[in-house]
Structure 1
Amino acid sequence: MPKLTALHAVRRSLPTPGRHILWLRYHAPYHWPSTMAFLAARCIPGIETCLDGTYHRTLVTAGRHGVLHASPSGNQYLRVCLEGVPARALPGLIARLRRFFDLDADPARITAELSRDPLMARLLQERPGLRVPQGWDACEQAMRTVLGQQVSVAGAMTLAGRLVQRHGVPLRLPAPGLSHVFPALPVLAAAQFVGMGMPRARAATLGTLANALLAEPGLLRRGQVLDELLRNLCQLKGIGPWSAHYLALRQAGAADALPLGDVALIKALRLLEGDDAQLAQRALAWRPWRAYAAQHLWASLGPAGTARR
């Protein structure tokens, strides 16, 4: 199979203006149950829903509000229906969707290299083609990561829902179960986050990170040298190694990022290999695919098993 490009898709525009159907191709296998379970556990109220194997979310593109509905179609395509989206915005959205669902991953290569480790070989057999879902955009993922510091996934989504209700904009087209678009970065950079049910330090970190992204839009861009990215992120007050690695893994697409202090990763490894298993030591065998190894460990705990966002 030839290498897939960032815009590899089949498109059909529907008679209604602003409605399009896309079929995005990927390298099989793809373990869709894990991706859908991951997304379903992390839906921000008002922004996303995940029902009956279909992921729904609001978006803003070319200054217009839109909605997408995505579900796997067979074993080679992701079917995406877009509403309220102008045709000129499709190339950028296709590229974003490919990144969000990690469609350009090479599962054969990842499997060949990770399978050298017996534990990963077993997990890969259980979930062939497991992907590392990415953030929708840098702003949203940055807020998710900070809100998830030292709380459960459910707790983080409760806080994210409050953030959206307070600072988001009501959705301008009808969509059952969806009510808002995520707050814009300039709004969050100027916002106050008091009274949301989180420590003051974490609220301050939301503003710090939003302002850092506003000042440097490429802060979380893909393709950076991992060590440099981690060093730059850890210079921001309130961003420690866990948050830096998680942002690198989930937004910057760093395939070797691994938050070693993540309690859920440590729990998963010890459940699989015993109480004496040491994550830092074991992870040496998973390079340069530690992000995928981490996703397998998180997935082994089930959708509600992760302690962090």
Structure 2
Amino acid sequence: MSGVERLDRESCYRAVKSRDRRFDGVFYTAVRTTGIYCRPSCPARTPGFANVTFHPSAAAAQAAGFRACKRCLPDATPGSPDWDVAATAAGRAMRLIADGVVDRAGVEGLAQRVGYTPRHLTRILTAELGAGPLALARAKRAQTARVLIETTDLTYADVAFASGFSSVRQFNDTIREVYAATPTDLRGRRGGRPATGTVTMRLAVRTPYAGRAMLAFLAYHLVPGVEVAGDGFYARTLDLPHGPGTVRLDIDDALDAGRTAFVTATFTLHDLRDTAAAVERARRLVDADCDPLAVDDHFAGDPVVGPLARRTPGLRVPGQVDGDETAVRTVIGQQISVTGARTVTGRLVALHGRPVDTGVPGLTHLFPDAATLAAVDPETLPMPRARGRALVALCAALATGSVALDRGPDRDDVRRALLELPGIGPWTADYVAMRALAHPDVFLPTDIGVRNALAGLGHDPAAVVAASETWRPWRSYALMHLWNTLMPPLPDSLEP
């Protein structure tokens, strides 16, 4: 059954009548009499049942001739959580489209990353999301452009190229068609000024959102030179397709369940064409598309995770801004403490990372890329020789593309490829799947932290691990709840 066929009209209309925010980003409501499409929670008067159609993506609604509602801004919702849960070819393609792959490599490049022919991938996306890759990429460009127009002082030409449009004329025509307004209308009376390379945007997240727990995890694992954290914020360098950049995320709790909250992200980019890619990577780092109510409801009656979910509602699984970096950091962290892993990784960054001038104290390097580390003599790495050889072999596989962690290939295929590498066992492969591939259903039964957490909560670790299948399909979130009980208190400098 296709994604379009799964949109039961009665169920969708009930969500629209109740203005249920949980479905924002899952489907879109188009009204024939007005020619407008909205998010399910739009505060406008509920249209008649006979006058509405439902679409699985903003691009599908736009392709059907509808324009975005100016009141509820339906294209600004978090993405569908189904893309990560099911991890279908359509979902994997959507993540790559959001990262700007179509803008950089075209439909053929996208299809190659997902593992299909362009024609077959177009058929899959049309069946699942109601639009082909070009229409989906166009909708994403339009949404990025609208946010930049309304929240920055970039000139319209800068907005056009930062959003991925190939010309200012294409940008103008698309904005008029999608929003029934000119760029000047969207911006209002605020005039633009020349681009500074700094862009501030709000990343939509579903609530509840345990932002302080996310910040604590990122701060506890930060790598010197690449990441810094302070009172209410986390910042890091970014190695983007057209050049380096940085992002600062202002993160806090948003516990008012059932609404959309925002994480403020400030990007400083060498090339504004990397705006879409930087935004997508920041979104996946903070797990912005998760449906926390569905996750927490699943654990409601569980004697182990249920109390933890009530204690920290909306806990997320931290993602990543670069899959290769996550894999390298995971191998370095095998069988050593988090503090030890930070020290070793910091030394690796100082030796092999690319120095960058960010103007941010503490952000001095880009994380070393796989090709650079693949050429390093394992004997010179600051770690046991066996782990050094495993790290170099992993980086060689990443550099040649035999292992791809860009969320394009099938997760099971990636796991098998990782396990074929020397020194990569199930714990490493599964942790990489959880962090780099956004797998929501990973559990690490041999992890010492899991067993310590269970013992500290007064449970029998063996019995709980044996029964952990009941946590599917959200075992990654159960794992985070257990690890969260072991997190040290935030340093004084990070306390609110």
Q: Secondary structure at the match of 2:407?
A: coil
| 2:210 aligned partner | 31
Q: Secondary structure at the match of 2:206?
A: coil
Q: Secondary structure at the match of 2:251?
A: strand
| 1:231 aligned partner | 416
User: Structure 2: how far apart are the matches of 1:83 and 1:248?
Assistant: 29
Bigger CA drift: 234-243 or 81-90?
A: 81-90
Partners of 2:228 and 2:362 within 8 A in 1: yes
1:303 CA drift (Å): 3.8
> 2:250 corresponds to which letter in structure 1?
S
| 1:91 aligned partner | 276
Paired residues for 1:268-279 under 5 Å? 268-275=453-460, 277-279=462-464
User: Structure 2: how far apart are the matches of 1:193 and 1:275?
Assistant: 40
Gaps of 5+ in 2: 1-20, 26-77, 80-97, 99-139, 154-192, 255-260, 490-496
Equivalent of 2:152, from 2, 8, 13?
A: 13
Partners of 1:222 and 1:254 within 8 A in 2: no
| 1:82 aligned partner | 267
1:279 CA drift (Å): 4.4
Partners of 1:107 and 1:129 within 8 A in 2: yes
Structural RMSD (CA)? 2.1
The number of residue pairs the alignment matches comes to: 304
Answer yes or no: is 1:53 the counterpart of 2:232: yes
1:278 CA drift (Å): 3.2
Equivalent of 1:63, from 233, 242, 245?
A: 242
Cα distance change of structure 1 residues 194 and 162 upon mapping to structure 2, 3 Å threshold: farther
1:218 CA drift (Å): 5.7
1:74 CA drift (Å): 7.5
TM-score by length of 2: 0.58
Answer yes or no: is 1:117 the counterpart of 2:256: no
Paired residues for 1:260-275 under 5 Å? 260-275=445-460
Query: Over residues 80-114 of structure 1, what are the superposed CA-to-partner deviations in whole Å (9 max), with x where a residue is unaligned?
Result: 11113433211111111111110000001111112
User: Structure 1: how far apart are the matches of 2:413 and 2:458?
Assistant: 32
Q: Secondary structure at the match of 2:301?
A: coil
Answer 1 or 2: higher relative contact order, Cα 8 Å, separation at least 6: 1
Partners of 2:212 and 2:253 within 8 A in 1: no
| 1:186 aligned partner | 371
Answer yes or no: is 1:150 the counterpart of 2:335: yes
1:188 CA drift (Å): 1.3
Answer yes or no: is 1:160 the counterpart of 2:341: no
Q: Secondary structure at the match of 2:335?
A: coil
> 1:132 corresponds to which letter in structure 2?
V
1:202 CA drift (Å): 0.4
| 1:207 aligned partner | 392
1:260 CA drift (Å): 1.4
1:172 CA drift (Å): 2.6
1:148 CA drift (Å): 0.3
Query: Over residues 132-164 of structure 1, what are the superposed CA-to-partner deviations in whole Å (9 max), with x where a residue is unaligned?
Result: 001221111011100000000000010100110
Bigger CA drift: 59-68 or 205-214?
A: 59-68
Partners of 1:269 and 1:277 within 8 A in 2: no
TM-score by length of 1: 0.91
User: Structure 2: how far apart are the matches of 1:217 and 1:176?
Assistant: 37
User: Structure 1: how far apart are the matches of 2:403 and 2:479?
Assistant: 25
The structure that has the greater radius of gyration is 2
User: Structure 2: how far apart are the matches of 1:69 and 1:270?
Assistant: 37
User: Structure 1: how far apart are the matches of 2:378 and 2:363?
Assistant: 23
| 2:29 aligned partner | none
Answer yes or no: is 1:173 the counterpart of 2:337: no
Q: Secondary structure at the match of 1:239?
A: coil
Cα distance change of structure 1 residues 228 and 260 upon mapping to structure 2, 3 Å threshold: farther
User: Structure 2: how far apart are the matches of 1:193 and 1:51?
Assistant: 34
Query: Over residues 235-254 of structure 1, what are the superposed CA-to-partner deviations in whole Å (9 max), with x where a residue is unaligned?
Result: 11100011011111111111
1:230 CA drift (Å): 2.8
User: Structure 1: how far apart are the matches of 2:402 and 2:201?
Assistant: 28
> 1:144 corresponds to which letter in structure 2?
R
Cα distance change of structure 1 residues 135 and 69 upon mapping to structure 2, 3 Å threshold: same
User: Structure 2: how far apart are the matches of 1:218 and 1:126?
Assistant: 38
Answer yes or no: is 1:241 the counterpart of 2:439: no
1:221 CA drift (Å): 4.0
User: Structure 1: how far apart are the matches of 2:309 and 2:398?
Assistant: 35
Sequence identity percentage: 37
